[in-house]
Amino acid sequence: MNIIQKYIETMENRDYEGLAELFDCDGTLVDHCPNGTSQPEYHVYGKEAINMFFRNKFTFGKFSISEAEIIDERHAKFVANYSGYMVMAIATIRYTNEEGLIQKLSVRPK
């Protein structure tokens, strides 16, 4: 299973610990999709911050994905649910380190 498949699997399962483990210790996740909702886009820096951020989102039902489809080894598309606001999104792994961990991942509206 490649890194984008693991990313989708952890997101679908709301596995915040597994998700954080996919990132380099200084990894970055930037999500541009919440624009248009009542919340700003997300810029989350570092493995621990990613863990804590998604623990909150998943635990309180503030974020989920569905209908995920892998496009290629660096891209996937899915429907993102931001507290009831649905957006078709594309996740792109921009950079990985030598160990294959994510250094930067961005999510944009499709």
Distance of CA 28 to CAs 14, 45, 55, 66, 102, Å? Answer: 18, 5, 16, 22, 8
Can you give the pTM of this predicted structure?
0.93
Domain that holds residue 56: 3-109
Q: What is the total count of domains within the chain?
A: 1
| DSSP bridge partners of 105 | 29, 93
The yes-or-no verdict on residue 49 having pLDDT over 80 is yes
Residue 108, judged by CB atoms within 10 A of its CB (0-12, 13-18, 19+), counts as: middle
Window from 16-20, 28-32, 81-85, 102-106 with minimum mean pLDDT: 81-85
Q: What is the pLDDT of residues 84-106, one digit of tens each?
A: 889 999 999 999 999 999 999 99
Residue 78 is which amino acid? F
Q: What is the CATH number of the domain that holds 80?
A: 3.10.450.50
